[in-house]
Amino acid sequence: FNDDMAELQSAFILAVALVFLLMGLLFDSIALPFSVLPTIAFAIVGAKWAFSIFGVQMDLLGAVGMIVLAGIVVNNGIVLVDRILRLENRGMPRESAVIQAVSDRLRPVVMTALTTIVGLLPIALSKPTGEGFNFQGLAVGVAGGLAFTTFFTLWTVPLLYTLLRDLGDYFQGLFRRKTAPVSS
């Protein structure tokens, strides 16, 4: 069991690294994926709380659920950041683009999360029979993590996006001043 859990932890780390690389390619930025990655931490916290609330032990299928959750929860953040970028590329100021993007994506983000959570509830609420595989841990972890992180995605991703873009603009301004030719 411990060997399997260690292997699944390695798979989780690999999944997060691959998600980060893919977001870097999608956003054409190294910094912007950091505005979405914290959603994974919120998902883990939510999953742990759900395990406690439901009284379900983390098992191997629950650990597999955490790997799946790492891929699922970043989707809402990616959709949000992509919408912000598209609005900014159309010439909208950053603050307006962030507000408009959250407004545009609020309903789809909540609807997709709710449909997934509701779809997992029958498995999460089922009682294990002792025969075959028990998917309760997977369902509880994914549903709890997704519920918790959906709320935080809608305010942390825009906040982190804005902070990272402002920080990037600041450092670009510093770099331009240092490399600007000195006029005589």
Q: Which residues contact 77 (CB under 8 A, 6 or more apart)?
A: 35, 36, 39, 153, 157
Is 152 or 87 the better-scoring residue by pLDDT?
87
Mean pLDDT of the chain: 88
pLDDT at 18 over 70: yes
Percent of the chain with pLDDT over 70: 96
pLDDT at 174: 76
Closest to 158 measured CA to CA, from 64, 92, 79, 73: 79
E strand intervals along 51-149: none
Please write the tens of the pLDDT for every residue from 58-104. 888 888 888 889 888 999 899 999 999 999 999 999 999 999 999 99
pLDDT at 49 over 90: yes
Q: What sign for the dihedral angle of Cα 25, 147, 46, 1?
A: negative
pLDDT at 179: 66
Q: Could you give the maximum distance between any two Cα atoms of the chain, in Å?
A: 84
Taking the C-alpha atoms of residue 150 and residue 83, their distance in angstroms, rounded to an integer, is: 17
pLDDT at 183: 58
Average of pLDDT values for 96-120? 94
